[in-house]
Amino acid sequence: MKKLVFTFLTMVVFAFVANTTFAQSVYNNANVGATHEYIVDGLDGTDSWTFIVTLSTEDPYNGGTVTPADGTEFDFVNSETGSGATSASVQITWNTIGNYRVWIQVQDDAGCYNYRFIDVPVTDNNFNVEIIALGSGDENDSDISGFTEATTACPKFVGEEFDDEENDTEGNTYVYYKVTRTLDNASTSDWAFTPAISGSATVTLWESSVDGQNWSTVSTITDELVVTDASGTEDNVWFRATATNVTETQTDLTFNFGTSAYEVTGGIADQDDSGSNTATMTLSPLPQIGDFSGN
């Protein structure tokens, strides 16, 4: 029997991040959403192999059930079979919480099999990004960090002119959203997401803020936005949309980042296991006022 030496190395692979390090998920204690590479060396170059994933209670060598299935609880990112090399490897993305075992079944050129495994508990990645709508506002809102969720609101007044002797107008209104990242460990990690905007309200300006007080223009809201988190405390980012022509009829504005959020440093995707990745703000119409007359 050949002596197989498991050296499980892990590498998180995402299309958008390369050569990252492991902030949280590791190969033998993986998080949901993480992808790790499992490598076995010490093969003689003529062996063929197959990687198998089972629950930790199963032993396929002794007739145990080979579960779960690829494509459900986990995904083989590349082929789980191979041959003709002294080192075998496979990348696995973990989809579901559970206690798993990663096996390698090696068959030599004589047709004999040998097995090795490593237990891989997979836990919630605890990386979550969610969004809530915070209602509407105006220039008097100097600090919206304490605002709570509101999905329906009346338009407020930005750039309004109520003087009936002038060209009176209700102006625009602000619509607020808060995107929150949660991460159990205290590691510092930039995080990112890509919004998609829809709805009947017309937005003339998007701004973002990391404190709910100071705003920076977002030139293209549908571009990926990376939240730099040097201190490990940047868990929120607020958005302010300047919506126009929203006073006469009911309008809505949806901010949706779908499954685009991920932890830049750890490379873990948002599994949408808490909260929502989309928020819709509905703006009720204002009562209309006609002309003034005095006598």
DSSP string for residues in 26-44 = BTTBEETT-EEEEEEE---
Q: Using the rule CB under 8 A, is 154 a contact of other proteins?
A: yes
> Taking the CA atoms of the chain, what radius of gyration do you get in angstroms?
27
For residue 285, the minimal CB distance to other proteins (Å) is: 7
End-to-end CA distance of the chain: 107
Is 62 exposed, middle or buried, given 0-12, 13-18 or 19+ CB atoms closer than 10 A?
A: exposed
**What mask, x for binding other proteins by CB under 8 A, covers residues 108 to 147?**
----------------------------------------
Among 10, 125, 208, 247, binds other proteins (CB under 8 A): 247
Backbone angles phi, psi at 60, to 5 degrees: -65, -25
CA distance 132 to 151: 8
Q: Using the rule CB under 8 A, is 287 a contact of other proteins?
A: yes
Among 41, 75, 124, 168, binds other proteins (CB under 8 A): 168
CA distance 48 to 56: 24
Q: Using the rule CB under 8 A, is 226 a contact of other proteins?
A: no
Binding to other proteins in span 15-74, by CB under 8 A: none
Q: Using the rule CB under 8 A, is 252 a contact of other proteins?
A: no
CA distance 219 to 14: 26
Q: Contact region for other proteins (CB under 8 A) — 68-76, 150-158, 197-205, 206-214?
A: 150-158
Q: Using the rule CB under 8 A, is 170 a contact of other proteins?
A: yes
The smaller minimum CB distance to other proteins, of residues 31 and 172, is found at 172
The smaller minimum CB distance to other proteins, of residues 84 and 294, is found at 294
User: 3-class SS at 197?
Assistant: strand
